[in-house]
Structure 1
Amino acid sequence: MKRAIIIGATSGIGEEVAKLLVQQGWHIGIAGRREEALKNLQATAPGQIEIQRLDVTEADAPTLLETLIRKLGGMDLFFLSSGIGSQNPDLLPEIELNTTRTNVEGFTRMVTSAFNYFKARGEGHIAVISSIAGTKGLGIAPAYSATKRFQNTYIDALAQLARMQHLNIHFTDIRPGFVATDLLKSGKFPMLMQAGQVAKSIVRALNRKKRVVVIDGRYRVLVFFWRMIPRWLWERLPIKN
């Protein structure tokens, strides 16, 4: 029996991935801040889904993760889908700090907990949703792009650490482009993808244990060219979305 924990499964990509894993026969534990949404998803497959209300920004989140793992009977895959982001060209401090609390502090809290669990267990798979926004610093969303770069680098570091310690832990860094979720509920975004289709690509990558995956092909091309833009030119580009 394959068992996965999904953090951030109350909506969007996390919810869609949860549904697909259930269809594939996984037993899953889902966590998020909205307990009612968790219960609604559990009702679709009560024999395969355990739930736990959890907020990654709170200090007790690792303890609640352990509770959910016990409910599920173990964990083979840890999938972190929780994150926030906003355009903030006015640099309102609370927006920047809230983004950091979730995408850096909360991310680190949960990923280190999963790493230590798999280290004790002897094997496992850690997957996270970061973003193509980590490729370059986006002036309209400084904290969001910076925290996504942090996530990319942190997973790189943990992958190296696992090899240094001879641990059988796999890592998947999932970097989507713009996805039609609550995260992008305001503004117009080019090449917008649907969460259901993105979730299918994610599950394929998880099954193959791919190390890094940019979703989709259009964004792979975009990221390729982004990386080639020199800093002096990037700083002069009027990126608005």
Structure 2
Amino acid sequence: MKKVIIIGATSGIGEEIAKIYIAQGWQVGIAGRREEALTALAATAPAQVKTQVIDVTCADAPEQLQSLIEKLGGMDLFLLSSGIGSQNVKLEPEIELNTARTNVEGFIRMVTTAYRFFKEQGSGHLAVISSVAGTKGLGSAPAYSATKRFQNTYIDALAQLARMERLSIQFTDIRPGFVATALLKNRKYPLLMRADSTAQHIVKALTNKKRVAIIDTRYAILVFFWQLIPRWVWERLPIRNDKS
């Protein structure tokens, strides 16, 4: 029976993806900071689900992930869904630094632990949820944009490293657009997607083992044109959203 571990499964996209894999009969390991949310989800399928409280910003997060892998009895697919982001046009330092602690520091802790496990196992599928925001720097959310670009590049580097080491590890960099989750803090964004439909797109991309998956088609078109915009033009675009 296939086994998946999802970090950031207490709400939003991660929770919806966990529900899909449970329905498909997978053994599912779920992790996040809120124990009560993990317990509630595990109660829907106690024979399939194992839980572990993990805060990716804590130094012991790799040990906690290893503990969850042992509870599940292994891991075929690893998915990192945890992340934070805020608009911060005032550039408040703590907001920027907190974003980096989760999206960079926590990201490194989790993906390197998963990579080492798959290396020892001899195979595996390592996937992360980044964002289309990594395509260009968004002036209203500098740290969020930069940390997502970091994630894109880090997975590119790991994929190259795996080939250098002749490892059978597959990678998927999932890049959603705006999704209606708590991350957006109830702001109204254009092209807003539902978490459950986004999760379905993501699971399909993972099943097909896509290397990079932009979710969904509308955003794939948008990103294509974003990439064609010269830097001097992009820097003059007032891209922000302060509506609540």
For 2:227 and 2:155, how far apart are their aligned partners in 1?
19
Question: Partner residue of 1:159?
Answer: 159
* Displacement after TM superposition at 1:185 (Å): 1.8
Deviations 1:79-107 (A, max 9, x none): 00000000000000000000000000000
Is the 2:138–2:240 contact (alpha carbons within 8 Å) kept by the matching residues of 1? Answer: no
Deviations 1:163-196 (A, max 9, x none): 0100000000000000000001232200100000
For 1:43 and 1:185, how far apart are their aligned partners in 2?
28
For 2:89 and 2:12, how far apart are their aligned partners in 1?
25
For 1:170 and 1:229, how far apart are their aligned partners in 2?
31
What are the residue-to-residue correspondences of 1:139-218 with 2, within 5 Å?
139-218=139-218
Question: Partner residue of 1:58?
Answer: 58
Deviations 1:118-141 (A, max 9, x none): 000000000100000000001000
CA RMSD, aligned part only?
Answer: 0.5
Task: Give me the TM-score of the superposition, normalised by structure 1.
Answer: 0.99
Question: Partner residue of 2:36?
Answer: 36
The residue matched to 1:51 in structure 2 has which SS?
A: strand
* Displacement after TM superposition at 1:64 (Å): 0.5
Task: Give me the TM-score of the superposition, normalised by structure 2.
Answer: 0.98
Q: What amino acid is the match of 1:125?
A: H
Q: What amino acid is the match of 1:35?
A: E
Percent of paired sites with the same residue:
72
Q: What amino acid is the match of 1:62?
A: P
For 1:238 and 1:63, how far apart are their aligned partners in 2?
43
What are the residue-to-residue correspondences of 1:109-120 with 2, within 5 Å?
109-120=109-120
Question: Partner residue of 1:79?
Answer: 79
Find runs of 4+ consecutive structure 1 residues off by over 3 angstroms.
none
